[in-house]
């Protein structure tokens, strides 16, 4: 051990969860802890968006897998969240917490690795952590958009050369975020695109980044959709929305089984049946709505809770 060694500075990881996602939070943590390199030092910044005392105990208990630093935040962001759309299906209001990180992280923290909790780390995050920002406010990977999403990007009026990125894994230049005072811009943008917003924080931050740029990182390596998984290359798998139809779910569940929760809520049969009928009924109605405009309206209603 050589604590003064620069390469041993902690990898600061921010995770946000409420009670519903607590089993996912624990799963993500287990994967990070088990797959870190021996010399990695880990520091977790857990943002409590409504965790239970048991959930907090479980997080604390993760130190038995591998020691780490632990920081808790329970910010009250209701004033900011008013400016965002209500829960949108898979994208609840809590998604937006990441946009306010400058409001609750310690002032001396210059950089953080934000990760969703539908994510599994398959190796050390050190290389991602050390990605140079090149003066950008964030480093992120291109989103795997489904083909009929172009209308959505058009609605957001993004420039044609902007690569819409996924906000599920972001290396955040917190220092620059503060220095450039991005918060007012974020809030203004949210209000501006409110009617068109489908992906919450992700739409907002992409509109902001379209103006000021961002640092691109490899999606296959650092924010990989399960359908694009490359064994040996992919270090962070992102089970976006945790769909039953995602391949490689066994990787996710193998880590979930190692948590005190013993599994993930989506694996319950009642959930699967409900979801099946919801999707089937959606597809039937969607098929009969030939007009693009009505399909858009319908899709939007479907994604609302």
Query: Measured from the CB atom, is 144 or 185 closer to Mn ion?
Result: 144
The CB-of-282 to Mn ion minimum distance in angstroms stands at 21
- Where does the chain show beta strands of DSSP type E? 11-17, 42-48, 69-73, 112-115, 119-121, 138-142, 165-172, 215-217, 236-238
Q: Which is nearer to Mn ion, 293 or 305 (CB)?
A: 305
- Quote the least distance from Cβ 90 to Mn ion, whole Å: 9
Q: Are 140 and 170 in contact (CB under 8 A)?
A: yes
Q: Do the beta carbons of residue 125 and residue 113 sit within 8 Å?
A: yes
Q: Of the two residues 85 and 168, which places its CB atom closer to Mn ion in the complex? A: 168
Q: Which residues bind Mn ion (CB under 5 A)?
A: 116, 118, 168
In angstroms, the CA 225 to CA 221 distance is 10
Residue 36 CB, shortest distance to Mn ion, in Å, is 21
What DSSP letter does each residue of 37-91 carry, written as one string?
A: -TT--EEEEEEESS--HHHHHHHHHGGGTS--EEEEE----HHHHTTS---BTTB
Q: How far is the CB of 167 from Mn ion (least distance, A)?
A: 8
Q: Cα 294 to chain center, whole Å?
A: 30
Beta bridge partners of 119: 238
Distance from C-alpha of 4 to C-alpha of 44, rounded to nearest angstrom: 20
What DSSP state is assigned to residue 233?
T
Q: For Mn ion, give the closer residue by CB, 9 or 303.
A: 303
CB 198 → Mn ion: shortest distance, Å? 14
Q: Which is nearer to Mn ion, 135 or 245 (CB)?
A: 245
Distance CA 254, CA 90 (A): 23
How far is the C-alpha of 192 from the C-alpha of 189, rounded, in Å? Answer: 5
Please state the closest distance from residue 266 (CB atom) to Mn ion, in A: 13
CB nearer Mn ion, residue 9 or residue 19: 19
Which residue's CB is nearer to Mn ion, number 18 or number 118?
118
CB of 128 to Mn ion, least distance (A): 16
Output the six-digit token pair for 62: 């993760």
DSSP for 234-260 reads: -SEEE-TT--TT-TTHHHHHHHHTTST
CB nearer to Mn ion: give 7 or 20. 20
What residue number has its CB nearest to Mn ion? 116
Question: Least distance from C-beta 246 to Mn ion, angstroms?
Answer: 11
């Amino acid at each position: 051990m050589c604590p003064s060694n620069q390469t041993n500075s902690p990898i600061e990881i921010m995770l946000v969860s409420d009670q519903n996602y607590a089993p996912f939070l624990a799963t993500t943590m287990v994967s990070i802890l088990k797959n870190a390199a021996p010399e990695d030092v880990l520091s977790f910044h857990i943002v409590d968006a409504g965790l239970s005392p048991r959930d907090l105990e479980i997080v604390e208990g993760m130190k038995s897998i591998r020691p780490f630093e632990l920081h808790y935040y329970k910010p009250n962001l209701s004033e900011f969240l008013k400016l965002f759309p209500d829960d949108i299906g898979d994208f609840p209001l809590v998604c937006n917490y990441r946009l306010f990180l400058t409001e609750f992280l310690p002032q001396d923290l210059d950089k953080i690795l934000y990760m969703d909790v539908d994510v599994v780390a398959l190796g050390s995050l050190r290389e991602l952590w050390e990605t140079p920002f090149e003066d950008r406010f964030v480093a992120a990977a291109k989103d795997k958009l489904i083909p009929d999403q172009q209308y959505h990007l058009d609605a957001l009026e993004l420039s044609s050369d902007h690569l819409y990125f996924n906000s599920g894994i972001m290396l955040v230049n917190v220092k620059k975020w503060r220095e450039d005072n991005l918060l007012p811009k974020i809030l203004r943008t949210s209000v501006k695109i409110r009617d068109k917003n489908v992906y919450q924080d992700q739409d907002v931050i992409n509109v902001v980044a379209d103006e000021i740029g961002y640092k691109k990182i490899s999606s296959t390596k650092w924010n990989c959709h399960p359908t694009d998984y490359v064994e040996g290359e992919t270090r962070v798998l992102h089970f976006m929305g945790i769909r039953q139809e995602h391949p490689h779910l066994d990787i996710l569940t193998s880590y979930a089984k190692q948590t005190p929760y013993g599994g993930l809520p989506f694996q319950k049969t009642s959930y699967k049946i409900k979801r099946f009928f919801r999707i089937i009924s959606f597809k039937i109605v969607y098929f009969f709505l030939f007009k693009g405009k009505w399909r858009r309206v319908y899709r939007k209603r479907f994604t609302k809770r």
